[in-house]
Amino acid sequence: MNDPHVVSLTYKIIEEDGFKFNDPPDVEVDTPDFKGRLSQGVLTLEPKDHFESEAHVRPRADEFLRGWEITAALHYGRSEFHFRFQGSSIVDRQAGPGKHFIDLSDNLHMSMTVNVEKYSASYPAPPDNFRLTPEVEVIWNRYSRYIEGKEPLPSMAYSCLTFLERDKHRELAAKDYGIEIQVLKTLGELTTNRGDVTTARKFKPPLLPLSSSEQTWIESTIKAIIVHLASKKPDHVLKMTDLPPLT
């Protein structure tokens, strides 16, 4: 090919066990990098700029879709689906009319019977502004382990806190990430000094189990931190007043 150009990338929605989209309406996609449509479980993305190969454009598309998966999981309360790459359409802009090259990298089709416990009549909207920073990726991965039942709430949240503070004092971490210091202090207090025999980080009597409001607060705070870091705007600060009350 003399002048290859990526026309589109195609992805398929893969639903997790127990979940299914039930005849949802199409969703239009329009981002700084792509336009496209999600229809009948298939997403087509058309790059707005010129890319000569799949390898040059895939990282941008994959990052955008990873953000879409995470924001949807935060909305649903767990990961209900993911995007699987199917292939790309590439044309030779110096070829004659109608001549093009289509590369389908994944034509795998699987059929199986699953028990569906939850339906959704609509696709989640694509995120407007979601940056998949290293902090977002790490905190999301730890939080997803918690919602999958693989890690207790206090240890998950404490690990996220110490990751943010890994090379700085708490006050500096709060300033750098635009998070009110009282949010980090409260998170540290609850994750260090609360929990029962199955969840406590430290077996220091007396053990004080997390109340329902404290558990809700921790969960909401970790989710709010993920969204805040992914869509951080200049001078925006995540404050205690943005979070549920503790009492």
| 56-100 pLDDT per residue, tens | 999 999 999 999 999 999 988 889 999 999 999 999 887 666 555
Q: Look up tokens 């709060």; give the residue.
A: 174
pLDDT reported for residue 224: 96
Range in 75-89, 200-214, 229-243 with the lowest mean pLDDT: 200-214
Q: Are strands 19-21 and 118-120 parallel, antiparallel or unpaired?
A: parallel
Extract the tokens encoding 183: 């949010």
Closest CA to 83 of 105, 101, 67: 67
Q: Which residues pair with 19 in a beta bridge?
A: 118
* Per-residue pLDDT tens over the stretch 159-202: 999 999 998 899 999 999 999 999 999 999 999 877 666 676 66
Provide, rounded to the nearest whole percent, the portion of the chain with pLDDT above 90.
72
pTM of the model: 0.83
37: helix, coil or strand?
strand
